[in-house]
Amino acid sequence: MFDLQRLVRKTIRNLEPYSSARSEFAGIADVYLDANENAFGSPAGDGLNRYPDPMQMTLKERVAHGTGLSPSQIFVGNGSDEAIDLLFRVFCEPGREQAIICPPTYGMYKVSAEINDIDVLEIRLTSDFHLDVPAVLSGIDENTKLIFLCSPNNPTGNLMRRKSVIEIAERFKGVVVVDEAYIHYAAEPSLKAELEGLPNLVVLQTFSKAWGMAGARVGLAYSSVSIIAWMNRIKPPYNVSSLAQTAVLKAFNNQAQIEEWTQLIVSERARLSEALARLKVVETVYPSDANFLLIKVADAQAVYRSLLEDKIVVRNRNNVELCNGCLRVTIGTQVENERLLSSLQRKR
């Protein structure tokens, strides 16, 4: 039985959250003298002298449209990293409780845990980069509060098997966080569809990847109304700027462009994968459901340095667990990808 109240830290349960001027009055007025803003305006214009909506309700309503979810099931944060940090703060007692991660995976789970003084149990993926479900379940003890799963996974690129994620969520009495930053490039649908049946599930997404808005720093968490309410309870009062909220709302008016770019990236991913596999310097091209490819080369450090000499930057993942000899290559434009292939063609 999932008992959310039991999972939340006592300190957080007893916390009286900060109340901002804009959270106390959310209506429309002629004169605003409540928030100590500069009433004369901003040199940048665009109403930036006023604080943003602290709960991002217009944006949440737009995100919720067509999903079957309510705005109260959506958290909007300063990138997905804010949501990750807040989940540790809500559920994990510093110095006492733990989270499980499955390396190789996104590095911020461990960093955020360490910042919050939370122990991390690392349970490796299998040799084909999938979840070792028996090992994960056997690693759970009375102090385990969170399990972080990245799908599609970074840096390996593959989706985790849906049935594996669901099995872990069904058998775990804590919170399972599935990071879907790259889900728009995958053929399978988001796990958001499982939220109704899994009250302990949190699904993270972002506007940084397929939406092309990495500079805006806007991330999403989808979950039950209760879990989202706890996250909102402890977030900073104005965690997402007016500029960022407006930019994302504007992007919703051009979804056809986003879909076109996504299809181009998926197409280029297939083409680049085949072309890389034919190069002598490349030993393995791993399957990907993301906007990047993990490739294994004979000497990752040497190839990485050589690409830098050609003014091409990839990510060296050689020192990451299970990724010995690997480079992570983001799918670029066709011109950029051809330049990469040409450079690698000259390597021996």
pLDDT tens digits for range 276-288: 999 999 999 999 9
DSSP secondary structure of 269-308: HHHHHHHHHTSTTEEEE---SSSEEEEEES-HHHHHHHHH
164 neighbors 119 (Cβ within 8 angstroms):
no
98 neighbors 120 (Cβ within 8 angstroms):
yes
pLDDT at 348 over 70: no
**Domain spanning 256-345: CATH 3.40.50.150:** no
pLDDT at 1 over 80: no
Q: How far is CA 257 from the centre of its chain?
A: 22
Per-residue model confidence (pLDDT) at position 22? 86
Structure tokens at 259: 């879909």
* Helix residue spans in 92-224 (DSSP H): 108-115, 133-139, 162-171
Q: What is the average pLDDT value for the chain, to the nearest integer?
A: 96
Mean of the pLDDT values across residues 307-326? 97
Tell me the domain boundaries of the chain: 4-254, 256-345
- Grade residue 52 by pLDDT with cuts at 50, 70 and 90: very high
pLDDT at 88 over 90: yes
Q: pTM to 2 decimals?
A: 0.96
User: CA-CA distance, 211 to 258, in Å (whole number)?
Assistant: 6
CATH code reported for the domain at 4-254: 3.40.640.10
127 neighbors 143 (Cβ within 8 angstroms):
no
Nearest Cα to 179, choosing from 119, 140, 221? 221
User: CA-CA distance, 166 to 31, in Å (whole number)?
Assistant: 51
* Cα dihedral value 142, 113, 94, 99, nearest 10: 0
User: CA-CA distance, 228 to 75, in Å (whole number)?
Assistant: 6
Q: Are strands 315-316 and 74-77 parallel, antiparallel or unpaired?
A: unpaired
234 neighbors 15 (Cβ within 8 angstroms):
yes
pLDDT at 207 over 90: yes
pLDDT at 100 over 90: yes
Q: What is the DSSP letter of 260?
A: H
- Grade residue 58 by pLDDT with cuts at 50, 70 and 90: very high
Q: Are strands 219-222 and 74-77 parallel, antiparallel or unpaired?
A: antiparallel
